[in-house]
Amino acid sequence: MKTFRSLILFALLFPASLLAERPNVILIISDDHAWTDYSFLGNEKIRSPHIDRLAAEGLTFTRGYVTTALCSPSLATMLTGLYTHQHGITGNDPVKGEDREAWLDRFFEHPMLPKLLADAGYNTMHTGKYWMNQPAAAGFTRDIGETGRHGGKSLDIGRKTMKPIYDFMDQSIENKKPFFVWYAPFLPHTPHNPPKRLLDKYADVQPAKKAKYYAMVEWLDETCGDLMKNLKDKGVDDNTLVLYLADNGWNQFGKASPYENGIRTPIIVRWPARIKAHMEQAKLASNIDLVPTILTACGVEVPAAMPGINLLDDKAVADRTAIFFNNFSHNMISAEEPAESLWTRSVIQGKWKLITYQDPLPNEKPNAGGHNRKYPDQNQELFDLLADPHETRDLSKEHPAVVTKLQAKMDDWWDPSPTMKRRKQVD
């Protein structure tokens, strides 16, 4: 019955010429990659020709974001279509002495993108990072093995080989089944050990660690180019929906922070059979939108609990007034109460961005909840992102009315105890 409803929805949303074949989907997730570090966004040193082309051929949101600036929570949002405090994976690791399984048990209560697609007839493959142990638990029908913390053997993808993806695509095409590929390579994440042929291109970049990182970005870009070429060679490029973003930002100050270097990323949506190329520089997009966008494109009903929008719905994108974020300790404190490790909440509306810091935990020590919890002198910061995209000037004292308005909007959005409410409903 669910598959039948999905096909009816697809028929209503798309012209008859596209009904014969649902799109394949490839989700590319770069890892620890700053939003400034693409040549199409103005970096004059980095070479990223393949991602640049992807951006030029797709619907590209230059004001794209992730809801949480840390790997595991960000990826969990891309699996569930939920905010971090809703799916409960607030950090990368539990605090010392706690078992990750307590978080995973609750996490897998939610609908998962791979499972929803698999139920609708898709072959679904996991490669790269995941954090949730067995990819099959999320509905992946093919994987490269258990992932553990970062990724295990699955981290060979991109750095050592792309063959598992291409074999999977070949088999799906042969069996006339649409496919979904989760391509989340450990790139440009540390270790920054690029091939010498790439590092040599950045010999003039200082310091040396930045040169290595830039070479890692180009290494990622090469794999994206190889993947796109493979789609063309197989004759499925036109009807393959390709999405690209980073899981969070990167620099010596930015990773895991609520500032733009932590949460901002270009979000690219490319589907030649359906989408006209457009560089969207004003409207806002979020990784919370990936699941509803993919499900709608594939004719699968979007669960009502998912708060994101379909990025291919022009009206929904235009009607959006704000996007929201929350950052937590690196180490998860409570599986039942996500808010116990909350660090910041943020909102962007138009040009304005408000960051509100929670009070430090009682007797908080470095690494008690995680190394990323740092606090400014005041608990709120306000930035004009259009005039000051690198957030160098706090305007909270100059615009108190804006702070009050944005704080009220953020408080309306924030529900700190969704897990406990769900348990009460079940009980």
Q: What is the pLDDT of residues 133-179, one digit of tens each?
A: 899 999 999 999 878 777 788 889 999 999 999 999 999 999 999 99
Contacts of 64 (CB under 8 A, 6+ apart): 35, 245, 264, 265, 266, 267, 284, 285, 286, 287
b/e burial code for range 324-350 (CB count within 10 A of at least 16 → b): bbbbbbbbbbbbebbbbbbbbbbbbbe
Say whether pLDDT at 371 is over 60. no
pLDDT value of residue 1: 45
More confident of the two residues 424 and 199: 199
pLDDT value of residue 376: 67
2 pLDDT band (50/70/90 cuts)?
Answer: very low
pLDDT value of residue 99: 87
Preceding amide of 23 cis, omega within 30: no
pLDDT value of residue 427: 26
Question: What is the rounded average pLDDT of the residues 119-127?
Answer: 97
Is residue 284 within 8 A of residue 63, CB to CB? The reply is yes
Percent of the chain past pLDDT 90, that is, above it, reads 75
Q: Indicate left, alpha or beta for 22 from its phi (over 0: left) and psi (-120 to 50: alpha).
A: beta
Say whether pLDDT at 222 is over 60. yes
Say whether pLDDT at 252 is over 70. no
Lowest mean pLDDT among 240-249, 254-263, 304-313, 388-397: 254-263
pLDDT value of residue 146: 78
Question: What is the rounded average pLDDT of the residues 19-24?
Answer: 76
Say whether pLDDT at 17 is over 80. no
pLDDT value of residue 16: 38
Return the top range by mean pLDDT from 13-17, 18-22, 104-108, 309-313: 309-313
More confident of the two residues 174 and 425: 174
Q: What is the dihedral of CA 32, 34, 35, 39, to 10 degrees?
A: -110
Mean pLDDT, the chain, whole residue set: 89
Say whether pLDDT at 7 is over 80. no
Contacts of 24 (CB under 8 A, 6+ apart): 169, 172, 178, 179, 180, 181, 236, 239, 240, 241
Per-residue pLDDT of 314-359, as tens digits, reads 999 999 999 999 999 889 998 888 888 899 999 999 999 999 998 7
Say whether pLDDT at 125 is over 90. yes
Is residue 144 within 8 A of residue 154, CB to CB? The reply is yes
Question: What is the rounded average pLDDT of the residues 64-82?
Answer: 96
pLDDT value of residue 361: 55
Domains of the chain: 2-9+23-320 (3.40.720.10), 324-426 (3.30.1120.10)
